Amino acid sequence: MEKSVQVKPNQSLLDIILTEYGSLEAGMKVAAANNTNISSVPEVGGHLIMPEVKQEITDFANVAYLRQNDVVIGTLSLPGLGYEIVLKPGLEVVPNTSGNPHTIGYYSFDVIGSADFVHLFPLSGAYLSDNQLQYESEERYIFGEDAETAAQLSVTPMSALSIPYILPWSVGFGYMIVWSDLTQPIVTTTFKDSEGNEAYAAPMTVLDNISQVVIEQFMGDIDVEIVAATNSSIILRLTRSHPPVSLTNFRNVSMEWLGEAVSSDPDPSDPENPDKCVVSLGAGTHTIGLKTRYVIEGSSSPAAYPASAFTMVIKVH
C-alpha cells in the first residue's frame, strides 16, 4: 500500500528507500513516484511517497530489524554547525526507609540522578544552593497554609547525584506534595559543570499519606532534533511532552517554554501544535527549559499546585 514518509535530518533518498524497503531495488519506482532522481537530497521535514512494490523486492527482515531497533539511516553530513546536549539533569525520588510517617514522624528519601541525567563535562564539587525543598499536605496547600521547608540532610558531592532528605511529618491529610521554589535565584538541585554550564531539575513529587511510597513524580521533557544548519547558525526543533498523569487533581497540565525557547517560532511543519517550536541558535552555549503547571480539576474553587521545571544546556559548534 502506498504511503507518505517524513524526511529526517541527514537522509538521502537512498537512505529512505533502505529504511522503507530493506533494499535498493525499489529505488527507481520511488524516484519516479516523487518525480526526482535516485541521487537527490530531499528536504528535511518534507514528505515523500513510498509506492507499493512487489514483495520480492522488499527485504522484510531488514525492515523489521530497523524498526524494532529504532534505527534511522542518515548517511549525509550536514554542512555548518552542529550541537550536543552538555548538561541535562534528570532526578527521581527514592524512599530509603519504610513506615507510616504519622507514626515514625517523618518521610525519608534520596533525590538521585535518573537514567536520563546528561553531563558531558565533570560536575563541580559543591551544589550552588542549600537544596531546600518545600512540602505540605495537599489540602493545607489548597487552603493557602504556609509550606514547611527541609534542607538536605548532609553534604554530598554533586558528582554523587544523590541528596538525602528527612521531612518531619506535617499536619494534614491526603497526599504530601514536595517541590522546589522556582522564584529563587538558584533553584533546588542546580548543577554546574567544569565548563561553567548551569542547569537544574525541579520535579513536583507526590508522596503517600500513610507510607513512604512515591505516588507520582511530575516533570516534563524536551526532545531536540536538527532541522537545518549553516556556518553561522543552526535551527533546532524542540518538542515538549509530559508523562501521563493518573491522579485526578493534577491532570490539568499546561506547559511553557523557558530560556531561549521563549523566543522560538512555531514549527513550520506543524504550526498549530503548541508543543513544537523551532529555535535558531548561533555558536556557543544556550539554555532552554520547560515549566509545567498543574491545576485541580472539577472543583468550584480551582487551585494551582506547585509547578515543576527543568533547564538544559546545549552547545552549538
**Cα atoms in the 13 Å half-sphere on the side-chain side of 31:** 15
Sequence-distant (≥ 6) Cβ neighbours of residue 143 within 8 angstroms: none
H, E, C per residue of 9-64? CCCCHHHHHHHHHCCCCCHHHHHHHCCCCCCCCCCCCCEEEECCCCHHHCCHHHHH
| Distance in angstroms (rounded) separating the CA atoms of residues 30 and 32 | 5
- C-alpha cell of residue 298: 472539577
pTM as predicted: 0.75
Domain boundaries along the sequence of the chain: 3-68, 84-316
Phi and psi angles of residue 242, each rounded to the nearest 5 degrees, phi first:
-140, 135
pLDDT (tens, 9 = 90+) of the chain, 317 residues, equals 788 898 887 788 888 998 888 888 888 889 999 998 887 788 877 889 999 888 877 888 888 888 877 778 877 765 677 899 999 999 999 999 999 999 999 999 999 999 999 999 999 888 888 899 999 998 898 888 999 999 999 888 999 999 999 999 877 778 999 999 999 999 999 999 999 999 999 999 999 999 999 999 999 999 999 888 887 888 999 999 999 988 888 888 999 999 999 999 999 888 999 999 999 999 999 999 999 999 876 555 567 899 999 999 999 98
